[in-house]
Structures are given as structure tokens and as C-alpha cells.
């Protein structure tokens, strides 16, 4: 196909051949997919409450009535589950992960793969989770093989599919056999592992820690002694846990982390910024993917090269100017004039609520939408100008109704936690001067803080929420990570201060780890750091003076970066709430008075967003809503979750295709 490009426009509007919009070419494949998929057009997130959640996280039977015998070993490993590298906690290779009750990986994904060559037509397949014939369905990152759900994203004996064995010298990464591992991980025995925390490969491949010891900062250290004799995690990882007030952890995550980077106030950058997207359930990270949008409710200022592998939304009503090259792979939305002294490239439409002027060049692959009477000046290439009112709403969910209520969750966790079942002291990691390793099986756990002059490693082996009431003050290495079959949410009430290496989550499966920070003091990183998680700091300043590479997402109050910032947005986070919707709803802890997201009380309230009394149902048959957040990022039409009709029906930056709100490739 031949595309006709318009000639440059200098101080005048142009009439040009209309170039195909990048996403239009996907319509046929989307139609084909819809014909083969379920007829459901929208979903309302169910709750994780009562016995389905934390009150049954330890020592309960499976939902099918059978008793689970996958108890946790005294060395912190979990029988039948796999460690962070996919190996068993006692150093032996796991032969499969346990089944997770009440979870699903089926259905239409809310994201689409993208090509990396900048072509106008993207022919990459749509992101869809593998079909699991169950029952019950396997969770994200896992596939049923011989009746057992195993982590095919990391298992070299079943890499990407049952029986798909990697060759000698290869590793399984993202369900694909290859020879390289993600940042921070090392190839050992067919798996990508963190040799700083992996018990079977501590400090080096095949260097296993003996019984009673665990890997801390690459050395085998004595394990923290916990009483796990009575602990049983259903399915090996435990049932769903709620973050607080009955809100399912997965539902909160998928509605919170829709952007690669979102700031409630301003973004200030003096070093290069690059964002791109991938789906860690569909393959290893590869540079250049899209769906990695950036949003700022305030100003966006960058004096260095900026490459955004997704949409860019700027909510500030003042003018936006650039003095360094900027590339935006998807839609650009600016709530004011644009003025540029350096090149701007937009590979989709641009919406500018004001004039467009440049002393350099502007290249827009789609149309430029701007108000009547707004002027243009300079070397501008576009398909056409569309004169119409332009509205740019704040992209980030920062108002009081949408804010995640971390303080209330921590207050609740002071009295509702599973510490007693393990014999875990809330002060276990306070004022310590020897290396410590804390292995958590499944459930809700509470610490007053972390203050150590020695290395600390925390590993989740099941579905875990860790509440930390105070600060994290660490002068030596801190690692907080998880097994590939686990899920980890950390809710921090204070600030995170560390002057040593920091590891949170895993770069191999970032969607499974979320860090929520309530303190307005925010978070400051001075060392070069790689994170494998999604970070939420809505009130504080996120500052970095060392190079920062994030596999996941950043949601911050304000961002300041004086060194390279790279965000590889993992689109798999948009599906982590699937398990919440497949679980059987039960009565929440407040007796059915719903004020927050992700809760269901006997089919009376389903509140997937964060507005008061949202998600009420009429006799358990008609889901009600007040925003797209109440509908798992799908459309809320007239108080009812349903099919979208326009992009404005969707939670930004998702776009409407065939009634579904999805991430569209650029």
C-alpha cells in the first residue's frame, strides 16, 4: 500500500491526502476475535471479601471442598509452589505450580500488541490470555498441564505451552525459550533467577543454601524462625487477599496502573525519558512496544530527548513548549497552546486546545484537532486540520474519590492480620544489625516498620499483602520479591529511604507486585535502580538522581528526574483483576455498607471503582456504576456497566473498539 504524505505547511493550514490511522488496520482482526470470543461486552469486578479473602488465607480448605496439604516448610519454602526463579523453596526444581482457586486468565485482554518499527499499520496479534479449559481456570502467567496449573512463563520444561521444553543453554523468559534474561536476573539451569535472593542459586548458579538458611544479598544467612506448622495455603498460594475494606488487590491494581507514568501534579525531567510497553504473559520484554502512555495533570517539562511509547496527555491549561526532540507514538492531548523550538513527532492524532507554533518541525501522522480561530505557524506536516472544540481532561485519577485509601487500610491491618498464625512480631525488622530473611506463605501481614543496618530480604510465596505502618530506613541492600505463582502488594505508611541497592518485585513478571506509599514525603532514589513492580505515590514527590529502569508503572504526585528514566510498562497489569471477578462473592467486613472499590456483598454492591456507593446492583442482575473504574476500566453508561461507544467512555488512556475499552497499538 502506498501512503501519500502532504507537503509542509508554513503559517497556513494544509489540505492533504488522508493517511490511514494506525489502529484502523486492526478492525478486521478485532472482528475476527470477537466472533470467536465470549459475548460479554463488559465486566464488573467482584469483590474479594470475607471467607474468600484474608479471613481464610491460612489453614483453609480449597473452594471445591478438598483439603490442601501444601504447608509451608520451616525454611520458608512452600511445598508444591515455586520460588522466585521457578524452583522450589528447598532448592529442588519444581515440577509444577499448584492450582489457584477462583482465578481466570481467559477472556479478551485490555491491550493489544504493537509493532516496533513505527509503521502506520500494525499487524501484531491482539494481547489475549491463553484459553484455559479448567475448571477452575488457571491464574495469570499459568497454564493447565495434566490437570495442574504451572507457570509456563518461566518453566523451562513447559515454556509457553505444556511440554514445550527449552534446549540446553536456553532459559524460559516470558514463555519463550531464549538465551537472555531480563535486567537484574541471571540464567541458571534454564531459569532466570535473582542470585541475590534465590535459595537454590545464592550468589552464583547451583550454589544452594542449606536447610535453615536463606539467601540474603547473595549470601546464605539464618532464616527468621516462624511457626508454620499450622499454616495451609489453599492451592499452594492461598485464596484472594483484600487490601482493606474488602477491596480485592487485583481489581485495585488494574484500575490504578493504566499509564506507564502518571503524575497528579508536575513532571520535570533534565535527562532522557523513554517509555515502551510489553505484556510479560505473552513474551519477554522487547524494546519499542506501545501502550505505554504518559499523563500529567499539571505541567510536563523535559529538556532532554523524550520518547513516549504511547499517548501523552497534559492537563495543565497553560502553554506547552519543548526545547528537545519529542516523539509520541500514540495520541497527543494538550490542554493549551503548543510552542516548540525542537522537533515533535506524533504517530497518531494530536488534540491541542490552542495554537500550534514551531520554529522547528512538527510531524503528525494523523489529524491535528484544534479550536476555531487558533493559529498555526511553522513547518507542520499532517493529514489535515480539524477545527472543533478540544477538551483535555486530567489524565490521572487524583481526586479524593479516586485516591487509594492507604491510611485506612493500614489502620485496619493493625488489628486484622495473620501475624499470630506465624508468630511474626510487628517489630521483627526494627532496629536490627544482622542480615534477615523473612519468608511469607500467604495472607495479610503487618510490620511497624523496617529499620536495619544489615541486608534484608522478604519473599512472598503465595498471595500476600504486607502492611508497613512506618518508614523503611535501610542502609544495606533491601530485596522484596516473590515466586512466579505468588502475588504481592506492599502498603507503606511512611517514607522509603534507602542508600543501598533496592529490589522490588521481578522484572520477569512485574504485574504481580505493587507498592503503595501513603507518605507525602514520597520516595527518593540516589543509586542506579531497576524495579520490577508498579509504584503508587499519589501525594509525594518521586525523585531520582540515579538511573532508573522500571518494569511496571509509576503513579506519582510529582516527578523529578536528573538521570535517565526508562519505564517498560507491563500491560499484563490490566488483567490482574480477572481472579477477583471469578471468585465467589461473600459478605464484606462492614456488613454490606459499601464505600470503596472492588467489593461485593451478597450481590448487593459491586464497587470496582472508588466512588461512594458505586457498583450497586438491582437484585443482583444489573451492575450499577458511577465511573469506568467501577467497571474494571470498561464503560459506565447511565449508571450501568456496558459496551463503550466512544473513547471518552473508557478510563484513559484506553480506547473504544467494538464495545470494549482496550489499549490500541500505535
- Residue 170 belongs to some domain of the structure: no
- Residue 359 belongs to some domain of the structure: no
- E strand or H helix at 409: helix 406-413
Q: How many domains does the chain have?
A: 1
- Residue 553 belongs to some domain of the structure: yes
Residue ranges making up the domain that contains 452: 435-575
For 92-117, give the secondary structure using H, E and C: CCCCCCCCCCCCCCCCEEEEECCCCC
Query: What's the pLDDT at 665?
Result: 63
| CB 293, CB 308: distance < 8 Å | yes
Query: What's the pLDDT at 594?
Result: 27
- Residue 586 belongs to some domain of the structure: no
Closest by Cα among 417, 433, 420, 538 to 468: 417
| CB 254, CB 238: distance < 8 Å | no
The C-alpha atoms of residue 65 and residue 81 are separated, in whole angstroms, by 20
CB pairs under 8 A, 24+ apart, for 407-411? 407/493, 407/518, 408/244, 408/245, 409/243, 409/244, 409/245, 409/467, 409/491, 410/244, 410/467, 410/469, 410/491, 410/493, 410/518
C-alpha cell, 437: 530473611
Query: What's the pLDDT at 232?
Result: 80
Query: What's the pLDDT at 608?
Result: 35
Segment-wise mean pLDDT, segments of 10 residues, the chain, 666 residues: 32 36 44 40 41 37 36 38 38 36 33 33 41 68 92 96 96 96 96 97 97 96 85 80 91 97 97 97 94 97 97 95 97 97 97 97 98 96 97 94 95 96 96 94 96 96 96 94 96 91 96 96 88 96 92 97 96 93 41 30 33 37 79 92 93 94 78
Query: What's the pLDDT at 95?
Result: 37
Q: What is the DSSP string of 427-442?
A: TTTEEE-S-EEEEE-S
Closest by Cα among 386, 381, 339 to 364: 381
Contacts of 637 (CB under 8 A, 6+ apart): 643, 645, 649
| CB 456, CB 476: distance < 8 Å | yes
- Residue 469 belongs to some domain of the structure: yes
Closest by Cα among 302, 294, 376 to 337: 376
Query: What's the pLDDT at 243?
Result: 93
Query: What's the pLDDT at 622?
Result: 52
For 237-299, give the secondary structure using H, E and C: CCCCCECCCCCEHHHHHHHHCCCCEEECCCEEECCCEEEEEECCCCCCCCCCCCCCCEEECCC
Angle in degrees, CA 555, 464, 539, rounded to 5: 25
pLDDT in tens, 107-127: 333 333 333 333 333 333 344
Closest by Cα among 175, 207, 257, 88 to 508: 175
Query: What's the pLDDT at 60?
Result: 36
- E strand or H helix at 128: strand 126-128
Query: What's the pLDDT at 623?
Result: 58
Alpha-carbon dihedral of residues 96, 101, 106, 107, nearest 10 degrees? -160
Distances (CA, A) of 196 to 193, 262, 428, 476, 531: 9, 31, 21, 13, 14
The C-alpha atoms of residue 117 and residue 121 are separated, in whole angstroms, by 10
- Residue 442 belongs to some domain of the structure: yes
Query: What's the pLDDT at 230?
Result: 72
- Residue 541 belongs to some domain of the structure: yes
The C-alpha atoms of residue 514 and residue 501 are separated, in whole angstroms, by 19
Query: What's the pLDDT at 522?
Result: 82
Backbone angles phi, psi at 412, to 5 degrees: -65, -40
- Residue 16 belongs to some domain of the structure: no
The C-alpha atoms of residue 107 and residue 84 are separated, in whole angstroms, by 27
Amino acid at each position: 500500500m502506498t501512503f501519500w504524505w502532504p507537503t509542509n505547511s508554513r503559517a497556513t493550514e494544509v489540505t492533504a491526502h488522508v493517511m490511514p490511522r494506525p489502529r484502523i488496520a486492526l478492525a478486521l482482526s478485532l472482528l475476527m476475535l470477537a466472533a470467536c470470543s465470549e459475548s460479554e461486552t463488559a465486566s464488573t469486578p467482584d469483590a474479594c471479601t470475607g471467607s474468600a479473602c484474608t479471613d481464610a488465607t491460612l489453614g483453609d480448605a480449597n473452594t471445591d471442598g478438598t483439603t490442601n496439604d501444601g504447608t509451608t516448610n520451616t525454611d520458608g519454602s512452600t511445598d508444591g509452589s515455586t520460588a522466585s526463579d521457578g524452583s522450589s523453596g528447598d532448592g529442588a526444581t519444581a515440577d509444577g505450580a499448584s492450582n489457584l482457586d477462583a482465578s481466570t486468565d481467559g477472556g479478551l485482554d485490555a491491550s493489544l500488541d504493537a509493532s516496533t518499527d513505527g509503521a502506520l499499520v500494525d499487524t501484531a496479534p491482539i494481547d489475549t490470555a491463553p484459553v484455559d479449559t479448567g475448571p477452575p481456570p488457571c491464574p495469570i502467567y499459568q497454564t493447565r498441564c495434566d490437570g495442574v496449573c504451572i507457570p509456563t512463563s518461566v518453566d523451562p520444561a513447559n515454556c509457553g505451552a505444556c511440554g514445550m521444553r527449552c534446549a540446553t543453554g536456553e532459559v524460559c523468559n516470558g514463555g519463550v525459550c531464549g538465551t537472555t534474561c531480563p535486567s537484574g536476573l541471571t540464567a541458571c539451569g534454564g531459569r532466570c533467577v535473582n542470585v541475590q535472593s534465590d535459595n537454590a542459586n545464592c550468589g552464583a548458579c547451583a550454589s544452594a543454601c542449606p536447610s535453615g538458611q536463606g539467601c540474603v544479598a547473595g549470601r546464605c544467612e539464618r532464616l527468621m524462625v516462624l511457626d508454620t506448622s499450622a499454616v495451609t495455603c489453599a492451592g499452594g498460594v492461598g485464596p484472594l487477599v483484600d487490601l482493606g475494606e474488602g477491596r480485592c488487590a487485583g481489581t485495585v491494581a488494574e484500575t490504578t496502573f493504566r499509564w506507564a507514568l502518571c503524575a497528579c501534579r508536575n513532571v520535570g525531567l533534565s535527562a532522557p525519558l523513554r517509555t515502551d510497553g510489553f505484556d510479560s504473559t505473552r513474551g519477554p520484554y522487547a524494546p519499542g512496544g506501545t501502550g505505554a502512555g504518559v499523563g500529567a495533570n499539571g505541567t510536563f517539562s523535559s529538556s532532554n530527548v523524550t520518547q513516549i511509547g504511547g499517548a501523552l496527555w497534559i492537563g495543565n491549561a497553560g502553554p506547552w513548549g519543548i526545547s528537545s526532540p519529542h516523539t509520541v507514538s500514540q495520541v497527543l492531548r494538550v490542554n493549551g497552546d503548543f510552542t516548540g523550538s525542537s522537533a515533535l513527532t506524533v504517530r497518531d492524532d494530536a488534540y491541542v486546545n490552542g495554537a500550534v507554533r514551531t520554529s522547528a518541525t512538527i510531524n503528525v501522522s494523523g489529524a491535528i484537532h484544534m479550536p476555531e480561530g487558533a493559529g498555526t505557524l511553522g513547518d507542520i506536516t499532517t493529514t489535515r486540520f480539524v477545527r472543533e472544540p478540544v477538551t483535555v481532561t486530567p489524565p490521572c485519577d487524583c481526586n479524593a474519590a479516586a485516591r487509594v485509601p492507604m491510611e485506612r487500610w493500614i489502620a485496619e491491618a493493625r488489628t486484622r492480620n495473620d501475624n499470630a498464625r506465624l508468630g511474626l512480631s510487628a517489630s521483627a525488622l526494627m532496629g536490627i544489625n544482622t542480615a534477615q530473611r523473612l519468608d511469607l506463605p500467604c495472607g495479610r501481614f503487618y510490620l511497624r516498620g523496617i529499620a536495619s543496618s544489615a541486608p534484608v530480604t522478604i519473599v512472598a510465596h503465595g498471595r500476600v499483602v504486607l502492611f508497613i505502618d512506618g518508614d523503611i530506613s535501610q542502609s544495606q541492600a533491601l530485596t522484596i520479591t516473590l515466586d512466579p505463582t505468588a502475588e504481592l502488594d506492599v502498603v507503606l505508611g511512611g517514607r522509603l529511604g534507602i542508600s543501598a541497592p533496592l529490589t522490588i518485585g521481578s522484572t520477569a513478571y512485574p504485574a504481580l507486585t505493587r507498592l503503595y506509599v501513603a507518605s507525602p514525603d514520597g520516595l527518593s532514589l540516589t543509586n542506579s535502580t531497576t524495579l520490577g513492580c508498579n509504584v503508587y505515590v499519589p501525594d509525594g514527590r518521586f525523585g531520582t538522581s540515579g538511573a532508573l529502569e522500571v518494569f511496571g508503572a509509576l503513579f506519582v504526585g510529582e516527578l523529578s528526574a536528573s538521570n535517565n528514566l526508562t519505564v517498560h510498562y507491563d500491560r499484563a497489569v490490566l488483567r490482574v483483576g480477572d481472579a477477583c471477578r471469578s471468585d465467589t462473592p461473600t459478605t464484606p467486613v462492614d456488613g454490606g455498607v459499601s464505600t470503596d472499590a472492588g467489593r461485593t456483598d451478597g450481590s448487593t454492591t459491586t464497587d470496582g471503582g472508588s466512588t461512594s456507593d458505586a457498583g450497586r446492583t438491582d437484585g443482583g442482575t444489573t451492575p450499577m456504576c458511577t465511573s469506568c473504574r467501577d467497571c474494571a476500566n470498561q464503560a459506565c453508561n447511565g449508571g450501568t456497566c456496558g459496551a463503550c461507544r466512544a473513547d471518552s467512555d473508557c478510563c484513559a488512556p484506553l480506547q473504544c473498539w467494538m464495545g470494549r475499552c482496550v489499549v490500541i497499538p500505535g
